[in-house]
Amino acid sequence: MQQPEIESKNGATTPRVVPTGVPAIADTGAVSTTGNLVLQNLEVFYGGFRAVNNVSLQIESKSVTALIGPSGCGKSTLLRSINRMHETIPNATVRGTVTLDGVDLYGSHVDPVRVRRVIGMVFQKPNPFPTMSIFGNVASGLRLAGISNKGEISAIVEDSLKKAALWNEVKDKLDEPGTSLSGGQQQRLCIARAIAVRPEVILMDEPCSALDPIATLKIEELIRELRAEYTIVIVTHNMQQASRVSDSTAFFSMGEDRGGYLVESGRTPQIFTAPTQQLTEDYVAGRFG
Amino acid sequence: MSLVRLTASDLTKAPSGRDARRRRSDRIMRGVMFATAAAAVIPLIGLITFIAVHGVPFLSSQFILNSPLDKEPGISNAIIGSLQLTIASIIVAAPVGIAGGVYLNEFASPRISSAGELLIDVMLGTPSILAGLFAFLVVVPALGFSGWAAIVALSVLMIPVVMRTTQEVIRLVPAGVREASLALGIPVWKTTIFVTCRTAASGLLTGMVLAISRGLGETAPLLLTAKGTNDTEILNFGSTMNAMPIVIYRYAYAADKLHIGQAWATALVLLVIALVLNVAVRFRTINSRVA
């Protein structure tokens, strides 16, 4: 097996502040740009139930990080706490910190609505707005954020659809409803919609689990392309997918109290070929989960 | 009785014994269900035919276009009155009902939400004459018999209809649609109005039409409020107003054949207006994707 490929760009010497006690998921010395996420002692609750237990994790900028683990281990919950979507559920709370480029996203002065503008999300089931056209779907985030310049909106829509590898398929039918597209196209539409508001980070919650294999491959290809511009965190059940698309992988499991915890994290090839924990090895070998 | 193992050659034989009985009871049950379905529809068709047969001979353009005070008396003032009262009432009832329904579904705590639903159920079950009585006791002493009083009574009846339909259609909006909007960094109030309600828009429209249909046919509250008149009142809600149900009620009691016939004809006009309204909305909603 090859050594993990390490991306690095010349002249990149910006020092990166790594909080002590946080295992660096991939301390590669790569370029430090914006979009660095650090989770510290994160605990996520549904009422009294602790669904995620004390997770500390550093997520590298402009790369793909996969969260894997058996069902119910809190991967999606953890993901949703990163852009503060978790708290839209009644009685759902978060303890610990999530910082993006040093800014505590749970700080008292931080507006969750703005956090979600910076950290976009793509869901398991493609969820285009049913009453909006293809164009309208991509434009929705901009329009509802108060942008009214038509030229600006159409430029961003075109750009986003191109980035989401959907432009060629839909450029002649932008006025058709978003729901008229196939499942895979709808998911790329949702990615375009997320890109349109120019986030730093894109969270993906099992984005391919409702798609057929060909659509899945297209999305995976897209994820690898998007990594150049965005920090991507993807939850997946599919270990092959994690190994295909991600640079780093974090493996979670469920504790005795049914709360999820981080078992280990590292470069993807290392997690899949030389994990340090027996549990990880059993999981990636398909012996449980 | 043990199960007989069938072979392919058995399939060509006419069924016997249990299979034959099963076939027979299947056919009988199918007949019974068709009959009950027909029993539900036949009175409705009968009613419409009856109204048409009695009403059509008295229907003419003068009847629709003339006022009761014209030489060839008609019911134009009642048609105009009914439309004005219903539209004014829905203008009051729709915002209140939609906002209330959205609140109960999207924002209220479970306790308030179930209390609200109970209240809607009670209001939906309220006999319309009580709404009339309420306006009669509260508004009529202040403003007299008037369009305003009728609007109060009708909107009291319409609000729960709009509210209930709003709740039902908002509930049909998939949670993923709201989440998608919130995850784009769109504030909750914008998500509610521009995404959730917009997704349910055709359903909200249906609720309004249901409420209008209900308002169009109400008689008792109008008798206690708008009272009826032979004058044509346009946007003059301070005065007594005429409406089609009032005409039907009054003319049906008349001693002469002409008025009784005109009552039938008015019923037919009312029926057609309600039908057109409902069919129009059905066409609109059939073409939309949600609710």
Ordered structural domains, chain B, with CATH: 80-242 (1.10.3720.10)
For residue A122, what are the β-bridge partners? Answer: A204
Return the higher-pLDDT residue of B217 and A11: B217
pTM of this structure: 0.80
* pLDDT for A210: 87
Task: Check whether B231 has a pLDDT greater than 80.
Answer: yes
Is the Cβ of A190 closer than 8 Å to some Cβ of chain B?
A: yes
For residue A92, what are the β-bridge partners? Answer: A46
Cβ within 8 Å, pair B183-A83: yes
Compute the average pLDDT of residues B182-197. 94
| Angle, helices B201-217/B257-286, rounded to nearest 10 degrees | 170
Is the Cβ of B4 closer than 8 Å to some Cβ of chain A?
A: no
CA distance B252 to B267: 10
Alpha-carbon dihedral A141, A145, A148, A149, rounded to 10 degrees: -70
- pLDDT level of residue B288 (50, 70, 90 thresholds): low
Cβ within 8 Å, pair A197-B289: no
* pLDDT for B278: 86
* pLDDT for A9: 41
Nearest to B182 among A85, A118, A145 (CB): A85
Residues above pLDDT 70, as percent of chain B: 97
**Residue A175, token pair as written in the block:** 């006025």
Tens digits of residue pLDDT in B202-213: 889 989 998 999
* pLDDT for A12: 41
Note which residues in 251-290 of chain B have CB less than 8 A from chain A. 288-290
Task: Check whether B63 has a pLDDT greater than 50.
Answer: yes
Tens digits of residue pLDDT in B70-82: 888 899 999 999 9
Cβ within 8 Å, pair B181-A129: yes
Tens digits of residue pLDDT in A106-144: 999 999 999 999 999 999 999 999 999 999 999 999 999
Amino acid at A244: R
Tens digits of residue pLDDT in A204-227: 999 999 889 999 999 999 999 999
CA distance B288 to B243: 34
Q: In this structure, are strands A201-205 and A231-235 parallel, antiparallel, or unpaired?
A: parallel
Using 50 as the pLDDT threshold, list the residues of chain A that sit under it. 1-20, 26-31
* pLDDT for B287: 55
Tens digits of residue pLDDT in B2-36: 777 888 888 888 777 888 899 899 999 999 999 99
